[in-house]
């Protein structure tokens, strides 16, 4: 039963994973119409963020590390963004998220097998012992939780489409959506739960009022069932998901954030260089770009300020502002219900991942799955926005006939 899990280390090894980047780069360079995306204002702001990271090589305390990590980040981010954008432009809206299907199957399979084998550890939550699932060898609960969030938009989207189909389809995809909630609760990953909340919120806000109420009530029922299934009490819930068995809400994050905040203040205007840690020198390359010189930073925004300075943080904020402004303008003019929901889900997962980055410094970790996925989803969102704007331009312009006067003048005589 665990044979599929045994293949995971070989398919996602530290070095083998970079081989999968080659076809991504080739698709971005030779298949996607680059001129169309380069002319967009949002892409220019994104490119400025990537370029600033690579440029930090010039003043970096260790130019080789910043060049290697900055170069990898640029290639990963731009390739995933462009391929995601091109996929969204070419694929039918109904099948847009099918590219997540392989990951969806593997992650859910790992979850089911992990629960069956009781792979995890026990913690005391307010006097009641609870199981926290690791769910796969070498994969901690926080990592599994965010992986579930990444693929959760697929069952949610399919459940929405199934509302026009059969009852069987609704049951299958409704169960898939509920299982995503269950996996996140079982992993005890608070950051993943926050991200998943944004996914659901984005979908609900993008729906029509009637469907919004239906899905909301259905979600309440599902949560109530999961609550009763895990025999949760209020005290147990707070101790497990807020305090996580500790006396402090922030638990291990408190000391990490404090250190990262102190180091961020020393980043200055331009930072110490992408991929570096303040005060660590004498690095010797040992085959990995995170060995011997990097510490856990626990917050992407503080990591950006430490490595790329105030300028890097300002570019990061500018990108988010331009993204939200672009989404808002396009969403307001969109009349396609399917496109509006797709935008809502993609915005939800994008904002959810940025909220998750408050607890995990994946923004400066270009080899992480979250980093690659974020840029791919951002590309999907940009592609959907392009499709909506193109559809609006193709709509024929109709002119209403001139209205007759309220009191027409009658001819004399």
pLDDT tens for the chain, 413 residues long, are 344 444 444 455 555 666 777 777 777 777 767 777 766 788 899 999 999 999 999 988 888 888 888 988 998 899 899 889 989 988 899 999 999 999 999 888 888 876 555 544 444 334 443 444 445 544 577 888 899 999 999 999 999 999 888 899 999 999 999 899 888 887 777 888 889 988 988 888 887 666 666 566 556 655 555 554 444 444 444 454 444 555 444 556 677 778 888 888 888 899 888 888 877 665 555 555 555 556 678 788 999 999 999 999 999 999 999 999 999 999 988 888 899 999 999 999 999 999 999 888 888 888 888 999 999 999 999 999 999 988 877 765 444 444 444 444 455 54
What is d(CA 328, CA 330) in angstroms, rounded to the nearest whole number?
A: 6
Q: What is residue 120's three-state secondary structure?
A: strand
What is d(CA 320, CA 45) in angstroms, rounded to the nearest whole number?
A: 9
Quote the tokens at residue 47: 């490119």
Sort residue 162 into left (φ over 0), alpha (ψ -120 to 50) or beta: alpha
Contact (CB, 8 A) for 160 and 198: no
How many CA atoms lie within 13 Å of 399's alpha carbon, on the beta-carbon side?
2
Q: What is the pTM of this model?
A: 0.79
């Amino acid at each position: 039963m665990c044979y599929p899990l045994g293949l995971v280390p070989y398919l996602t090894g530290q070095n083998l994973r970079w081989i999968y980047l080659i076809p991504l780069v080739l698709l971005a360079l030779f298949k996607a119409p680059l001129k169309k995306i380069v002319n967009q204002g949002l892409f220019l702001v994104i490119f400025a963020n990537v370029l600033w990271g690579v440029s930090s090589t010039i003043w970096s305390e260790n130019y080789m590390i910043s060049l290697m990590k900055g170069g990898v980040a640029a290639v990963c981010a731009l390739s995933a963004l462009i391929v995601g954008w091109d996929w969204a432009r070419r694929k039918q809206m109904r099948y847009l998220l099918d590219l997540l299907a392989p990951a969806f199957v593997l992650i859910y399979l790992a979850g089911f097998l992990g629960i069956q084998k009781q792979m995890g550890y026990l913690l005391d939550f307010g006097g009641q012992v609870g199981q926290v699932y690791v769910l796969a060898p070498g994969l901690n609960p926080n990592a599994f939780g965010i992986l579930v969030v990444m693929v959760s938009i697929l069952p949610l989207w399919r459940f929405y489409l199934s509302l026009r189909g059969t009852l069987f389809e609704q049951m299958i995809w409704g169960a898939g959506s509920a299982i995503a909630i269950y996996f996140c609760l079982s992993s005890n990953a608070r950051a993943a739960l926050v991200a998943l909340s944004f996914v659901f919120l984005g979908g609900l806000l993008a729906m029509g009022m009637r469907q919004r109420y239906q899905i909301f009530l259905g979600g309440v029922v599902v949560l109530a069932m999961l609550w009763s299934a895990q025999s949760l009490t209020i005290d147990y819930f707070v101790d497990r998901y807020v305090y996580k068995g500790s006396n402090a809400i922030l638990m291990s994050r408190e000391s990490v954030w404090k250190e990262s905040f102190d180091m961020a203040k020393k980043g200055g205007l331009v930072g110490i260089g992408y991929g570096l840690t303040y005060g660590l020198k004498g690095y010797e390359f040992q085959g990995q770009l995170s060995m011997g010189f990097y510490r856990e930073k626990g917050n992407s925004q503080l990591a950006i300020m430490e490595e790329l300075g105030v300028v890097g943080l300002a570019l990061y904020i500018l990108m988010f502002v331009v993204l939200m402004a672009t989404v808002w303008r396009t969403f307001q003019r969109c009349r396609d219900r399917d496109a509006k929901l797709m935008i809502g889900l993609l915005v939800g997962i994008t904002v959810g991942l940025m909220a998750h980055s408050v607890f995990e410094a994946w923004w400066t970790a270009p080899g992480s799955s979250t980093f690659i996925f974020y840029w791919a989803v951002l590309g999907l969102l940009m592609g959907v926005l392009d499709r909506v704007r193109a559809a609006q331009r193709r709509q024929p312009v109709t002119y209403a006939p001139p209205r007759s006067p309220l009191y027409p003048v009658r001819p004399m005589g």
